[in-house]
Structure 1
Amino acid sequence: MTAQQTSTSKEPEKMPGALPLIGNMLKFGKNPYEYMSLLRSKLGEIGEFRLFHQQMILLTGPEGNEAFFRAPDDQLDQNEAYKVMTPIFGKGVVFDAPPHIKDQQLKMLMPVLRDKPMRTYSKIIVQEVEEAVKDWGESGEVDLLEFMKQLTIYTSSHCLLGNEFRYELNEEFSRLYHDLEKGMHPIAFIFPYLPIPILRRRDKARIRLQELVTEIIEKRAQKTEKSDDAFQMLIDTRYEDGSPLSPHEITGLLIGTLFAGHHTTAGTAAWITLELARNPKEMDRVLEEFDTLYGHDGEVTFQSLREIPFFERVIKEVLRIHPPLIMLIRKVAKDLHFKDYVIKAGKYVCVSPRVSHRIPEIFPDPEKFDPDRFTKERQEDATPFSWVAFGGGRHKCSGNAFAMLQLKAIYAILLRRYKFELVDPPESYQDDYTEMVVQPGSPCMVRYSKRDNIQQTEVESKKAAEETVSKQNCFKVDVDYDLCQGHANCMAEAAEIFQVDDKGMLTVLQETPDNTLLKKAQAAAQYCPTGAIKIKQD
C-alpha cells in the first residue's frame, strides 16, 4: 500500500559495499537472487543498491509488490526501464512507443490470446508434442531444457504466428529467435547498445526477421484466402487514425506475441519434470490425476485441461520456487511514497518474485516443494500480491493464460507416454542466473522410459440431491478494472453477466445477478487470467 507524502518521509537505506563506477554490480551479477535476499535480510522490505550509474530501489513482500504493480504509468514508467527491448521489438514499438501508441499496439495483440482462439490451441499443442517424441523409442536420455526450448518454440509459433513460421521457416526462425532472446543479457539492461558479439547477433537477427516478415506479407497479399492467425490479424488491423502497421511494426509485435507465449515457458516446463522427479510422491499424484481423467488415449481438450487441479497447483508451486524473471523494473517518473519512505524521481524501482516467494511468514518452509500450499484449505497465496510469478496489476503478463494452457497440454501427453528420472544428483540441478530469464543450468539431462498398461480409473459420479435454486439476488460481481486485460474468458463463461467488446473493454451487465447464474459467475472468476473478478456472496 502506498502511503501519502508526509513530513517524515525518508529515503531508503543503502546496501554497503558499493564500489566506484560499478556500484554493487559484482556481487549482484554473481547471483542476483542471493544478493537481493541479503538486501531484504539487512534492510527489510525496501532498500537501495547501485548498478553502475543506476540507483535501484528493491521492494519485496505483498505490500511492496502492490505499490509497484498498482502505481500509474505516469509515475512508474515501463518504457524507460525496458530500453533493453527496443533493439528486439524495434524503434517505435511497444516500450519505445509513446503511451497512446503503445496502448493501441498492446490491444492489437490481445485477440489472439483471448478465450475463443485459446479453445483451439490444445489440439495443436498435442500434435506438436506427439511429433516431438515419436522417435524417442522405449527409453533413453534427453537434455530436457533444449527439448523444451525447441518444443515450445514450435507450439508457440504454430498457435500464434502461423504456418509459414512453423513449417517453412522453422529452422531459420528458431535460430533468429534464439539470437533475439539471448539479446536480453543482463548487461543490456544497463548498456543496450554495447558493441559485443551477443548484442551484434541480436541486431542482425532483428534485421533478417523483418526481411522474412516483409516477404510473407507480399506473398499473402497475392492469395485470395486469408489466414486467421496473429500474423494476418496484424496485417489487417489499423490504428485509431486508420493507418496500417508497417512491416517494421508487424515484426516487432510478432516478436512480442511470441515472447508472451514462449519467452518464459521453456524453463518452467523443464522445472516441472525436475521437481516431480525430485519428489516421487507428488509425481505419483500427478500420474494418478492424468490417468484417471485420460487413461492411455483419452482426448486432451480445452475443457479437460481445466479438470486437473492438482497439476495446476504443481505448476503454480514450480513458478513460486523458480519464477522465470529475476526482477521486474520501472523508472520513477514522479516521486513514489511507500509507507515512511520516498523513492525519488529518476531512480529505478524493482521487485523480485523469487525473493517475495520465499518469505517464510507467507510461505512457511519456503524451500520445500509443496503444491498443497494452494489448496482452498491452506491458501498461502491469499494475501494479494504475495504470488507474483506473472507480475500483477494492469501489466500482468498477457500471455499467462496461454502459458498455463501450453504447460498443461504438453504434460497431459508427456506424462502419459513416459516416466522420467534424474540422470545427475538432485542437488546438481540449479537455476542459471547468467541471463535475465532464469532457467535450469545446461546441460539438463533426464532419463525417460515408456509407460505401458495405463488404466483409466473408474470414478463414481455421485449425484447430489437436487437443490431448489432461489432466484433471490444473493451474490455480487466485483471487478477490479485496473487488472482487466480483456481476455474475454468471463464472457465465454457467463455471457448473461459479462460483455467484452472488440477493443477489450469489459461491461458488467448485471452486478447482482439471479442465483441461477452463480456457478457461471464463479467459473468466470476462476478462469479470469488476471484475477480481476471476485464473487461476493451474502
Structure 2
Amino acid sequence: MPGALPLVGHMLAFGKNPFEYMMKLRNSLGEIGEFRMFHQKMVLMTGPEANEAFFRAPDAQLDQSQAYKIMTPIFGKGVVFDAPPHKKDQQLKMLMPVLRDKPMRGYAEVIVREVEQMIAGWGDAGEIDLLAFMKALTIYTSSHCLLGDEFRYELNEEFAKIYHDLEKGVNPLAFVFPYLPLPVFRRRDKARARLQELVTGIIAKRAQKPEKSEDAFQLLIDARYDDGSRLSAHEITGMLIGTIFAGHHTTAGTASWTLLELARRPEVMRSVLNELDAHFGADGEVTFQSLRETPLLENVIKEVLRLHPPLIFLIRKVMRDFHFKGYTVRAGKYVCTSPRVSHRIADIFPDPEKFDPERYSDARQEDARPFSWIAFGGGKHKCSGNAFAMLQLKAIFSILLRRYTFELIDDKDTYQDDFTQMVVQPVSPCRVRYIKRLGMKKAAAETARNTAQAEAPVRPRFQIKIDRELCQGHATCMSEAPELFHVDDVGNVTVLQESPPLNLLAQARQAEKYCPTQAIKIELIENPEESKNGRIS
C-alpha cells in the first residue's frame, strides 16, 4: 500500500479510522494487500476465500497467541494467549461445559430477571444513555450466568470498577508497548491484582460449603490439567476475566446498535414487535426454547452484526510461510482479516450499506456461502460463546421491546461507531427516549389471531455430515436429536444412525440450525438409491 511514512508507516491513517483505511486497501489492492504499522508488516485478507484460508490455517502456521499479547497483562502470564498451545487448549476446554447446551437452557430465566430488575424503576417515560445502560445490563447478566452469585451480588460495585479498569487497559498502544508506565496501564495492573485477591477469598469460602455451584467459576476450581494438577488462583482469575471479556463489551455494543437500528426504522420495529407479541403474548414465558422461535429478531441481530461487528479485524502472526492463491506471506509478518470489510462485499451482500434483515430469510440466504458472514469468526477458532451471545441478546429484547417503545433523541446520523476503541461500539453518549407500551395485551392478542404457521415439507431421505474441524462439542445436537447424536465428556461427536428414518428429519434440521459453529450439514436425497453411493459421516 502506498503512503507509508518514516517510522510510523501507515499507522496514522489506520488509527484515524481503521475501517475506512481497510476499505481503501481492499478497493485499491483487492482481497490481499500489505501495509505497515510502525515497523510491523501487516497483510489484510478479505472475502470468503481469503477468510477461509485465514481461519482454517493451523496454529503452527498462523498463531493467534502471538498476535494477542496485548491481553497478557490482563489475563495474566501463562493464561490463554500466553500459555503454550497444549496448555491453552486444555484451559479453553475447561470452560466449554458452561457453554454447552444443557446449562444454556437455564440462562434465559436469569437474563430475563436481570432485565426486569434494571427497568423496574423506569416508570412511564424517560431518557437513558443506551450504551451505558447496556454495559451495566450485560455485565450483570454475564457475571450472573457464568461467574455465580458472589460476583453478581456480593462484589457488585467493586467488580464493576475492577472490570472497568481492566477494560480500559485494552488500548491500541498495548499492541506495541504493553508495559509502558502510563496511568491507564497502572490501573489495569492494580485491578488485576485486586481481582486475584477476591478470587482467592471466594475459593476459600466455597471450599467450606457442602453444596457446589454449577457456574464457570466452580468448573475452574474443580478442573484438572491432563497431568492431574489444579489451576492456580492466578490462572482462575485470568480465565474468569477472559470469560467476561468475551461475553460483555462485544454484546453491549451489539445490543445498543440493535435498538438504535430498530429505532431508526419504525417499520422493522413494528415487524419485530408483531413477532414477539404473537409468540409470547403479553405474559408468555421467555425460555431457551421459545427464544429460538423468533427468526425475525434473530435476523435483525445478524444484520446488526454484519454492519457493526464489534471486532473489525482479527490478527494472526505468520510462523511459517503462508500461501494464498499466487501469493506468499513470509514468516514474521502478521495476517489479519476484517469482518466489517468482508461484510460489505457487494457480490455477496447486495446493496451492502442497506440495513436489510431479509438477507437471511430462507428465500435469500445471503450468508449461506461459507466464511462470508464472520461476525463470530470462523473455523476452529470461531467464538465458542456465540450461542450464549445470541441467547443473551434475544432474551434482552424479548423483554425490553414488549415493555417499552424507543425513540432517538438526537439526529439519527449522529449515532456512529467509535473507532477509537479496540472493541467498536456506538459513540457515547447515545441517548434514547423510552415510552411504556400501553394496550400490550390487546396488541398481542390481535397479532396472535393474524399469525399462521406453515408446515415444512418432508423430503424422501437425508444424510448427516459433520465438519470435525468446526465442531467444538457444545452438545446442542445431542439435546435436539438424542436419537441421532451422542457427545461424550470431552466433546467428541458420534452420529448414531447412518440411515435415519424420515420421522427424525425435523430433529436433524433443528440440530443443524442451532449448532453454534454450523458444523452439521443435513443433505436431502431425492432418490433413495443415491444414499447407497453417498458417504454418511
Partner amino acid, structure 1, of 2:177: F
Q: Extract unaligned runs of 5+ from structure 1.
A: 1-14
Shift of 1:465: 9.5
Percent identical? 71
Matches within 5 A, 1:105-144: 105-144=91-130
Shift of 1:462: 7.0
Is the aligned partner of 1:206 residue 2:192? yes
| One of 223, 236, 257 as aligned partner of 2:209 | 223
Q: Extract unaligned runs of 5+ from structure 2.
A: 526-537
| One of 68, 72, 78 as aligned partner of 1:86 | 72
Partner amino acid, structure 2, of 1:530: T
Which residue of the partner structure matches residue 345 of structure 1? 331
CA distance in 1, matches of 2:456, 2:38: 67
Which residue of the partner structure matches residue 526 of structure 1? 513
Select between 217-226 and 102-111 the one with higher mean Cα deviation: 217-226
Q: Over aligned residues, Cα RMSD in angstroms?
A: 1.5
In structure 1, the residue corresponding to 2:483 is in which secondary structure? Answer: coil
Matches within 5 A, 1:436-515: 436-454=422-440, 455=442, 456=444, 457-459=447-449, 474-515=461-502
Select between 452-461 and 153-162 the one with higher mean Cα deviation: 452-461
Kindly provide the CA deviation profile for residues 22-41 of structure 1, in whole angstroms up to 9, marking residues without a partner as x. 11000000000000000001
Contact 1:260 1:400 in 2 (8 A): no
In structure 2, the residue corresponding to 1:215 is in which secondary structure? Answer: helix
Partner amino acid, structure 2, of 1:433: F
CA distance in 2, matches of 1:186, 1:466: 49
Partner amino acid, structure 2, of 1:362: I
Shift of 1:165: 0.1
Shift of 1:19: 1.1
1:465–1:196 distance in 2 versus 1, CA, 3 Å: closer
1:332–1:413 distance in 2 versus 1, CA, 3 Å: same
| One of 399, 404, 412 as aligned partner of 1:426 | 412
| One of 240, 243, 264 as aligned partner of 1:254 | 240
Is the aligned partner of 1:285 residue 2:275? no
Which residue of the partner structure matches residue 274 of structure 1? 260
Kindly provide the CA deviation profile for residues 260-291 of structure 1, in whole angstroms up to 9, marking residues without a partner as x. 32231000000001000111110110111111
Contact 1:320 1:389 in 2 (8 A): yes
1:465–1:67 distance in 2 versus 1, CA, 3 Å: closer
| One of 138, 152, 160 as aligned partner of 1:166 | 152
Which residue of the partner structure matches residue 34 of structure 1? 20
CA distance in 2, matches of 1:42, 1:214: 53
Kindly provide the CA deviation profile for residues 440-493 of structure 1, in whole angstroms up to 9, marking residues without a partner as x. 0000100110001113233478798999x89x8x21101011111111000001
Contact 1:260 1:398 in 2 (8 A): no
Which residue of the partner structure matches residue 156 of structure 1? 142
Which residue of the partner structure matches residue 96 of structure 1? 82
Task: Report the count of equivalent residues.
Answer: 521
Select between 153-162 and 170-179 the one with higher mean Cα deviation: 170-179
CA distance in 2, matches of 1:385, 1:34: 22
Select between 69-78 and 458-467 the one with higher mean Cα deviation: 458-467
Which residue of the partner structure matches residue 182 of structure 1? 168
Kindly provide the CA deviation profile for residues 93-141 of structure 1, in whole angstroms up to 9, marking residues without a partner as x. 1111111111110000100011000000000000000000011111010
Which residue of the partner structure matches residue 535 of structure 1? 522
Select between 88-97 and 451-460 the one with higher mean Cα deviation: 451-460
CA distance in 1, matches of 2:505, 2:420: 48
Partner amino acid, structure 1, of 2:244: L
Contact 2:45 2:337 in 1 (8 A): yes
Which residue of the partner structure matches residue 233 of structure 1? 219
1:464–1:487 distance in 2 versus 1, CA, 3 Å: closer
State TM-score, norm by structure 1: 0.95
| One of 23, 30, 35 as aligned partner of 2:9 | 23
Contact 1:478 1:511 in 2 (8 A): no
Contact 2:281 2:448 in 1 (8 A): no
Is the aligned partner of 1:376 residue 2:366? no
1:179–1:336 distance in 2 versus 1, CA, 3 Å: same
